[in-house]
């Protein structure tokens, strides 16, 4: 007999950051304790841990923007 795990799935939320006067917009979702940030066609995923998801989303969006501009 298999046991179904209940996962918490948040609705997609918007996230924005400003870097050098430029605004960058992305979105994020949280499934259980995993956050995924999407920006253009790229995604970054990590475990939420003790950091609030909205703050972590900004950090991950910043990483995605820096990858794009590298």
pLDDT in tens, 12-35: 999 999 999 999 999 999 998 899
State yes or no: pLDDT of 3 exceeds 50: no
Q: In the prediction, which pLDDT does 62 show?
A: 97
b or e along 10-34 (b: 16 or more beta carbons within 10 Å of the residue's beta carbon)?
eeeeebebeeeeeebebebbbeeee
Q: What integer is the mean pLDDT of 40-62? A: 95
Q: Does 4 fall in a domain?
A: no
Residue 52, domain extent: 13-69
Q: What is the number of structural domains in the chain? A: 1
Looking at the chain, how many residues does it have?
Answer: 70
59 inside domain? yes
For the chain, the average pLDDT equals 89
């Amino acid at each position: 007999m298999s046991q179904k795990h209940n996962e918490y799935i948040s609705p997609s939320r918007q996230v924005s950051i400003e870097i050098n006067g430029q605004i960058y917009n992305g979105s994020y979702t949280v499934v259980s304790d995993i956050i995924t940030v999407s920006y253009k066609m790229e995604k970054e995923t990590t475990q939420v841990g003790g950091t609030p998801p909205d703050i972590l989303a900004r950090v991950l969006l910043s990483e995605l923007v820096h990858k794009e501009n590298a």
